[in-house]
């Protein structure tokens, strides 16, 4: 009897694991393609676009906290800056890294609610287009990336449920991978030169850059893991 129950439990766990892997097959495929071709010309535009959305999050935070955005730029070497005045500086500084991770988590978690997933993708695309048109110099390379990248996301979201899901899954995976990439290469290695360093200097305590970066990293990873866990639980009960 004990061995029978043990085999039944093992088989149930194996079946559940297989269903989870099958449900996340597109996520896993996207992650494999992105990581396998990470340094290739094929993935480069997506990496730059993720940095652009990072800057869009800064700009949105500035506007939402009563500030003004002067300029928003993204470079091909995956650097960028958003110049703003006014607003709540801690929220503006935190919005880049945390905002990208939260968007990635939202796009993945909302797979449980396909209509929300499509609306989320549509909003990301429209906001990126709007911010680019308003705060990036017309004719620059990042101007066209923001316009056509945002337009592509909107088209995927509006075309059909399948294309909306495909766009959301790919972008969500890219956000999550790039967030982890940022944490390993930027925040935890030379935080003083990142948004964490800017916030620490704003407070007049430069050494806080690393604790701030570590906190952002932990919060972002926790949110991403929770989003994926919530989707797995939803699939298990549906």
**DSSP labels for 125-159?**
HHHHHHHHHHHS-TTSHHHHHHHHHHHHHHHHHHH
- Extract the tokens encoding 27: 């996520």
Cβ–Cβ < 8 Å for 154, 148? no
| Cα distance between residue 104 and residue 31, in whole Å | 13
As given in the structure block, the two tokens for residue 151 are 């337009």
The pTM of this model reads 0.88
pLDDT tens-digit series, residues 121-178 = 999 999 999 999 999 999 999 999 999 999 999 999 999 999 999 999 899 889 988 8
**Is the model's pLDDT at 93 over the cut of 70?**
yes
For residue 16, what are its two tokens?
């559940």
pLDDT tens, position by position, 177-224 = 888 888 878 777 788 888 999 999 999 999 999 999 889 988 888 888
Query: For residues 93 and 32, which has the higher predicted lDDT (pLDDT)?
Result: 93
Quote the CA–CA distance of 229 and 122 in Å, as a whole number.
24
Closest CA to 51 of 141, 118, 119, 155: 141
Coil, strand or helix at 3: helix
Q: What percent of the chain has pLDDT over 70?
A: 89
């Amino acid at each position: 009897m004990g061995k029978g129950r043990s085999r039944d439990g093992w088989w149930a766990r194996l079946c559940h694991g297989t269903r989870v892997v099958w449900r996340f097959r597109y996520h896993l495929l996207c992650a494999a393609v992105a990581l396998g071709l990470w340094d290739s010309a094929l993935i480069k535009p997506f990496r730059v676009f993720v940095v652009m959305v990072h800057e869009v999050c800064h700009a949105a935070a500035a506007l939402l906290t009563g500030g003004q955005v002067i300029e928003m730029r993204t470079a091909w070497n995956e650097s960028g800056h958003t110049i703003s005045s006014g607003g709540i500086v801690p929220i503006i500084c935190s919005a880049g890294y945390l905002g990208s991770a939260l968007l990635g988590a939202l796009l993945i978690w909302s797979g449980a609610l396909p209509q929300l997933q499509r609306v989320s993708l549509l909003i990301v695309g429209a906001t990126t287009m709007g911010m680019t048109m308003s705060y990036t110099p017309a004719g620059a390379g990042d101007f066209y990336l923001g316009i056509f990248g945002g337009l592509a996301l909107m088209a995927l979201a509006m075309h059909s449920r399948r294309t909306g899901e495909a766009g959301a899954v790919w972008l969500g995976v890219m956000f999550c991978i790039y967030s982890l990439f940022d944490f390993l290469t930027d925040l935890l290695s030379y935080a003083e030169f990142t948004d964490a360093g800017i916030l620490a200097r704003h407070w007049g305590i430069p050494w806080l850059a690393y604790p701030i970066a570590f906190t952002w990293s932990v919060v972002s990873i926790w949110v991403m893991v929770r989003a994926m866990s919530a989707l797995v639980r939803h699939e298990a009960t549906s």
